[in-house]
């Protein structure tokens, strides 16, 4: 009898649950119908036209004719709303499809920068089938935000919220035009916050599992209160379709970009002028840290705010303006959001001691200038026949140098070769002046009077020695 009762009791429980009204079973699930009804009309479809005169471009990179099953073809590429590569004549018009949303009743709307990149014409279509030609007010590739304006009044804008209050596990909703299917709604949860992607150092992405596909790009991400908390921007995919990883730009950052674009037509970001890396468990142990955290400075760029504040390679930034740097990827968004020419306080671990450093934040240079600044300076052979470059952190560790010095990369026939300087030598002093970096060495060399013999301090392995280099006469 006990055995029968034991079997029947769970069966009765199951049948009892099945008998419950469906509304009771679904009570814990979110309800999106009212949100879609109210704010769906605020979401627009965006298409563009542009002349084809060059290979297809994805977010600033020219894509060659790769096989479609190549991982390079799909890895983090900005393809939302864009048709796959197809043969076109040079004078043919191409159309890309994306999403956007109204942020004001007088026609301002947001989308992604890559949706409207290189467009000759931008067409905005609302849910009631009206079409408008949009004007590009401004765009910012680093945040992938573009601000558009259509000439219309009494439009229905979204309600803006804040991504700061989002919690992992919270329900969110996306509305957009995947594959051109307008005003499609998909839902999921927040999977993570503050995600840093390889090509996006200044955006702390919201990661979700909301189904996002080509055409959703630039559309809004809503919370359950009907507030926009993000702008859908990217997915991770090996196939070109949704794989459970989608990323949205926090609306707080997007609106900061909007205000700057409205005011000046460009976006200004803070800049330290350092290359950083993650602190591994092994590195943390070598630095005497209890656990790996912070941002390790691998390179201090010349003429940067970091150099002016005497930040050094090997410093570990633990806090920025009181905010803990748990991983190195947490630092760039904080620096980027800082006001230019304003001081910022850093907590730094240096040689086992925690010190406070104040840095006057600079302005992030243009992309071309930044690439030139980040790459170690490598000049053609100078007037004494040397090609020199800046030392990296590993080279400094090997030579036990904290800062300064340039490494001789090549020696061509000339005064330096005759003096005995060879490849791999490190120049520490020139004309009784410390050599800080390749740029400063070039300036020292240019300032020397032709025909003089200059004392040059070299480190070769563990040995240091002076060489007399005679500057050639002009």
Neighbours of 403 (CB within 10 A): 15
User: What confidence score (pLDDT) does residue 446 get?
Assistant: 87
Q: Would you call 260 exposed, middle or buried from its count of C-beta atoms within 10 A (0-12, 13-18, 19+)?
A: middle
> Distance between CA 344 and CA 346 in Å, rounded?
7
Whether domain 161-264 has CATH 3.30.450.40: the reply is no
User: What confidence score (pLDDT) does residue 65 get?
Assistant: 44
> Distance between CA 375 and CA 445 in Å, rounded?
21
Q: What is the mean pLDDT of residues 257-272?
A: 93
Q: What CATH superfamily is the domain 270-371?
A: PDZ domain (2.30.42.10)
Q: Map out the domains of the chain as residue ranges.
A: 40-149, 161-264, 270-371, 376-470
pTM equals 0.67
User: What confidence score (pLDDT) does residue 401 get?
Assistant: 84
Q: What is the mean pLDDT of residues 45-52?
A: 84
pLDDT tens digits for 115-149? 999 899 999 999 888 999 999 999 999 999 999 99
Query: Class of 376-470 per CATH?
Result: mainly beta
User: What confidence score (pLDDT) does residue 66 get?
Assistant: 42
The structural architecture, per CATH, of the domain 40-149 is Beta Barrel (2.40)
pLDDT tens digits for 1-44? 333 343 334 434 344 444 445 444 445 678 899 999 999 999 99
Q: For the chain, give the percent of residues with pLDDT over 70.
A: 80
64 has pLDDT over 70: no
Which residues are identified as catalytic? 114, 144, 217
User: What confidence score (pLDDT) does residue 94 get?
Assistant: 60
pLDDT tens digits for 298-336? 889 988 999 999 999 999 999 999 999 999 989 999 999
Question: Do 438 and 444 form a contact (C-beta atoms < 8 A)?
Answer: no
3-state secondary structure of 251: helix
Binning pLDDT at 50, 70 and 90, where does residue 375 land? low
Question: Do 304 and 373 form a contact (C-beta atoms < 8 A)?
Answer: yes
Q: Would you call 441 exposed, middle or buried from its count of C-beta atoms within 10 A (0-12, 13-18, 19+)?
A: buried
Q: What is the DSSP letter of 226?
A: S
The yes-or-no answer to whether 161-264 and 376-470 have a common fold is no
Q: What mean pLDDT value characterizes the chain? A: 83
337 has pLDDT over 60: yes
- The long-range contacts involving 441-449, CB below 8 angstroms and separated by at least 24 positions, are 441/388, 441/406, 442/379, 442/382, 445/382, 445/383, 445/384, 445/471
Phi, psi of 306 (to 5 degrees): -65, -40
Find the range with the poorest average confidence among 79-83, 293-297, 380-384: 79-83
């Amino acid at each position: 009898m006990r055995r029968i009762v034991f079997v029947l009791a769970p069966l009765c429980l199951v049948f009892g649950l099945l008998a419950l009204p469906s509304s009771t079973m679904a009570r814990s699930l979110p309800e999106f119908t009212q949100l879609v009804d109210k704010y769906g009309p605020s979401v627009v479809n965006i298409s563009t036209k542009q002349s084809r005169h060059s290979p297809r471009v994805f977010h600033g990179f020219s894509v060659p004719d790769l096989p479609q099953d190549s991982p390079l073809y799909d890895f983090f590429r900005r393809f939302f709303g864009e048709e796959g590569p197809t043969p076109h004549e040079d004078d043919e018009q191409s159309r890309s499809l994306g999403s956007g949303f109204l942020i004001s009743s007088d026609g301002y709307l947001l989308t992604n920068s890559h949706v409207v990149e290189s467009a000759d014409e931008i067409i905005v279509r609302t849910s009631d089938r009206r079409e408008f030609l949009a004007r590009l007010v401004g765009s910012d590739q680093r945040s992938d935000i573009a601000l558009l304006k259509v000439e219309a009044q009494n439009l229905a804008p979204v309600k803006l919220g804040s991504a700061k209050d989002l919690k992992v596990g919270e329900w969110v909703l996306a509305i957009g035009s995947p594959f051109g299917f307008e005003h499609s709604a998909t839902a999921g949860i927040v999977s993570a916050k503050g995600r840093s992607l390889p090509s996006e150092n200044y955006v702390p992405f919201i990661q979700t599992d909301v189904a996002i596909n080509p055409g959703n790009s630039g559309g809004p991400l809503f919370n359950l209160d009907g507030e926009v908390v993000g702008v859908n921007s990217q997915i991770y995919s090996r196939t070109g379709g949704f794989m459970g990883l989608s990323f949205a730009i926090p609306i707080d950052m997007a609106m900061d970009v909007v205000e700057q674009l409205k005011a000046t037509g460009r976006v200004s970001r803070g800049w330290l002028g350092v290359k950083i890396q993650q602190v591994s468990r092994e590195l943390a142990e070598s630095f005497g840290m209890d656990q790996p955290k912070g941002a390790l400075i691998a390179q201090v760029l010349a003429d940067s705010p970091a150099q002016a504040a005497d930040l050094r390679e090997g410093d570990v930034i633990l806090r920025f303006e009181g905010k803990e740097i748990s991983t190195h990827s947490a630092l760039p968004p904080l620096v980027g959001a800082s006001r230019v020419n304003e001081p910022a306080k850093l907590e730094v671990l240096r040689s086992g001691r925690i010190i406070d450093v104040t840095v006057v934040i600079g302005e992030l240079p243009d992309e071309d200038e930044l690439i030139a600044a980040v790459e170690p300076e490598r000049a053609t052979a100078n007037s004494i026949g040397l090609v020199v470059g800046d030392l990296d952190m590993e080279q400094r560790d090997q030579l036990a140098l904290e800062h300064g010095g340039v490494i001789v990369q090549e020696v061509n026939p000339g005064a330096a070769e005759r003096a005995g300087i060879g490849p791999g030598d490190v120049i520490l002093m020139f004309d009784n002046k410390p050599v800080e970096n390749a740029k400063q060495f070039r300036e020292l060399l240019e300032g020397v009077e032709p025909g003089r013999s200059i004392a040059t301090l070299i480190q070769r392995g563990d040995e240091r020695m002076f060489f007399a280099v005679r500057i050639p006469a002009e």
